[in-house]
Amino acid sequence: MGRAFTYVILGGGVAAGYAALEFVRRRGDASPGELCIISDEAVAPYERPALSKGYLLPEVAGGARLPAFHTCVGANDQLLTESWYKEHGIELILGTKVISADVLRKALLTSTGETISYKTLIVATGARALMLEEFGGNGSDAENVCYLRNIVDADKLVHVMRSSPGGNAIVIGGGYIGMECAAALVANKIKVTIVFPGKHCMDRLFTPKIAEFYENYYTSKGVTFIKGTAVSSLEISSGKVTTAILRDGRRLPADMVVVGIGARANTTLFDGQLAMDKGGIKVNGQMQTSDATVYAVGDVATFPVKLLGGDARRFEHVDCTRRTARHAVAAALNPSSAGDIDYLPFFYSRVFALSWRFYGDNAGEAVHFGDMSLSASSAKFGAFWVSAGRIAGAFLEGGSTEEYEAIAHAVRRGVAVPDMAQLAREGLAFVVRE
Ligand code: FDA
Ligand code: NAD
């Protein structure tokens, strides 16, 4: 059993949706056998960030549900429902896992036993959540232990949350998932304790000072932080976790557990077939892998970032996913005119009434600005990272559109900082001139 397509997008997440729209914009509707998307998820591509935000809100607050957040609404663009793909000639092969790939033969084998061959492949397999068991822990199968990567996970989390009103949640991990889920749990009136081994939350990005603000804010909402240790095991009774046991022996009662201890790019189908770098599939500025007929985009791709002197980076963020997906399609359809991607790294998060953005690279010396006290009616503060005398990265909480644009622009231009004291004194005004 087999089918052949000119273009195959492997994976049906954020990258796939944006790649499909870009394809139609550049080429028009696909003709039969021209383009398919293969996804092991049961639904058409959607904006994954919604899962840790609107999707988890209490019903009274009108939690977001499909079809409202299919791609590409996250970029204020068209809403691509399942019927959109059909109308544009794109075959959506859902609920189908690719179990092996043969790059030399240009063929993919699916869980249904079908072989799908391609002329050009776009790998958009994203990442998976790391499991407790990979760190010597236990309990992932318990009825009240939740991970959050896809809509099935999100449905479980919503169900468990609604079955534990007023209960205790242990959140394992103080990164993006831990912090965003903790805020959602509080909104659902669940008592939250966050446990992680680091010194402060979001330690891959935040400075200790920035983290202190968010930790204080969460504490004011009733959240407890237990830092510098880990959950060593989960005690389970009748299929449910009842207690989380910490390394130091402390026992925390638990009605539910949310795990966010990092992600790993889904590269294994291509191990030994494509060059890898920094945990992802290595690509050039056109998002092309070591095999010219295969492109990689989104969380799975490690690509050269011009702004960082061509340093190869892999990001696990949605803006990067959208842009790399569009770029790969442009390059695959017209290699001579696409040029190399010129990406300005951009991450963001929204929790409670807070909202921040970060641009660039958090390398060099951090200079903080603004009022970081909780008493301010609405927080506005941030930091610039200065490397080799220039602004390399910028973080801003509570900014306006113009202010976010200004910090992005300053990072993009690498604004010179001759005097660190002046930057510290002027803060945002250093880059936002009247
Ligand atoms: P993505 O994971 O979206 O899609 C991969 C797809 O491939 C999935 O459909 C998967 O099932 C499928 N797949 C994998 N292997 C397969 C196989 N062998 N066969 C078939 N299908 C296969 N970022 C941000 O900037 N701001 C934010 O607020 C958030 N919020 C956020 C919340 C949550 C809960 C998560 C999990 C992640 C975020 N992110 C984020 C990160 C962002 O969502 C992420 O960077 C993108 O989803 C990556 O898009 P991809 O298409 O690369 O992978
Ligand atoms: P993360 O890397 O952001 O955070 C992992 C956290 O787990 C860190 O705090 C780390 O100290 C902690 N940790 C590591 N090992 C641990 C252990 N054994 N026990 C306890 N804690 C441990 O990863 P995440 O929060 O799981 O997010 C997963 C993916 O989803 C990432 O790709 C992330 O970028 C993405 N995501 C992004 C956003 C956003 O951009 N706003 C939101 C949600 C998710």
Ligand 2 contact via 174 beta carbon (within 6 Å): yes
Question: What is the greatest pairwise CA distance in the chain?
Answer: 69
Residue 71 DSSP code: T
* Cα separation, 283 vs 274, whole angstroms: 9
Ligand 1 contact via 328 beta carbon (within 6 Å): no
Ligand 1 contact via 347 beta carbon (within 6 Å): yes
- DSSP-derived secondary structure for 180-209: HHHHHHHHTT-EEEEEESSSSTTTTT--HH
Report how far ligand 1's centroid is from the alpha carbon of 13 (Å): 5
Mutate which of 116, 264, 317, 329 for ligand 1? The one with the most ligand atoms within 8 Å of its CB, which is: 317
Q: Give me the pLDDT at residue 265, please.
A: 98
Q: What are phi and psi of 373, to 5 degrees?
A: -85, 150
Q: Give me the pLDDT at residue 327, please.
A: 98
Q: Where are the beta strands (DSSP E) in 328-404?
A: 346-351, 354-360, 365-371, 380-387, 390-397
The amino acid present at 329, given as its one-letter code, is: V
Ligand 2 contact via 244 beta carbon (within 6 Å): no
Report how far ligand 1's centroid is from the alpha carbon of 265 (Å): 10
Report how far ligand 2's centroid is from the alpha carbon of 261 (Å): 5
Query: What number does the ligand 1 atom closest to the CA of 148 have?
Result: 34
Q: Give the closest ligand to the alpha carbon of residue 320.
A: 1
Q: Give me the pLDDT at residue 242, please.
A: 98
In order of 38, 129, 154, 167, 258, the CA distances from 143 in angstroms are: 29, 17, 14, 15, 11
Report how far ligand 2's centroid is from the alpha carbon of 174 (Å): 7
Average pLDDT over residues 358-386: 92
* Cα separation, 323 vs 341, whole angstroms: 9
In order of 154, 183, 230, 249, the CA distances from 242 in angstroms are: 21, 22, 17, 15
Q: Give the closest ligand to the alpha carbon of residue 53.
A: 1
* Residue entry with tokens 């318990």: 142
* Cα separation, 293 vs 332, whole angstroms: 8
Report how far ligand 2's centroid is from the alpha carbon of 130 (Å): 9
The amino acid present at 283, given as its one-letter code, is: V
Q: Give me the pLDDT at residue 338, please.
A: 87
| Count of all residues that appear for the chain in the document | 434
Mutate which of 125, 150, 153, 270 for ligand 1? The one with the most ligand atoms within 8 Å of its CB, which is: 125
Ligand 1 contact via 323 beta carbon (within 6 Å): no
* Cα separation, 90 vs 306, whole angstroms: 33
What the block records as the tokens of 405 is 């644009």
Four-residue CA torsion sign, 425, 427, 429, 431: positive
In order of 11, 16, 400, the CA distances from 88 in angstroms are: 19, 14, 37
* Cβ burial, residue 292 (10 Å; 0-12/13-18/19+): exposed
Instruction: Name which residue sits closest to atom 30 of ligand 1, judged by CA.
Output: 49
pLDDT in tens, 173-229: 999 999 999 999 999 999 999 999 999 999 999 999 999 999 999 999 999 999 999
Report how far ligand 1's centroid is from the alpha carbon of 215 (Å): 27
Number of other CB atoms surrounding residue 166 within 10 Å: 9
Confidence of residue 31 (pLDDT cuts 50, 70, 90): very high
CB-facing half-sphere around the CA of 273: CA atoms within 13 A: 18
Q: What are phi and psi of 6, to 5 degrees?
A: -70, -50
pLDDT in tens, 387-411: 999 999 999 999 999 999 999 999 9
The amino acid present at 271, given as its one-letter code, is: D
Q: Give me the pLDDT at residue 208, please.
A: 98
Rounded to two decimals, the pTM is 0.98
Report how far ligand 2's centroid is from the alpha carbon of 191 (Å): 20
* Cα separation, 177 vs 148, whole angstroms: 7
Ligand 2 contact via 398 beta carbon (within 6 Å): no
Report how far ligand 2's centroid is from the alpha carbon of 76 (Å): 26
In the chain, pLDDT over 70 holds for what percent of residues? 98
ipTM over 0.95 threshold: yes
Ligand 2 contact via 126 beta carbon (within 6 Å): no
The amino acid present at 294, given as its one-letter code, is: V
Query: What number does the ligand 2 atom closest to the CA of 299 have?
Result: 32
8 Å CB contact between 131 and 145: no
pLDDT in tens, 135-174: 999 999 999 999 999 999 999 999 999 999 999 999 999 9
pLDDT above 60: residue 94: yes
Number of other CB atoms surrounding residue 60 within 10 Å: 6
Ligand 2 contact via 173 beta carbon (within 6 Å): yes
pLDDT above 60: residue 434: no
Ligand 1 contact via 91 beta carbon (within 6 Å): no
8 Å CB contact between 32 and 147: no
Report how far ligand 1's centroid is from the alpha carbon of 112 (Å): 23
Report how far ligand 2's centroid is from the alpha carbon of 201 (Å): 10
Mutate which of 38, 287, 318 for ligand 1? The one with the most ligand atoms within 8 Å of its CB, which is: 318
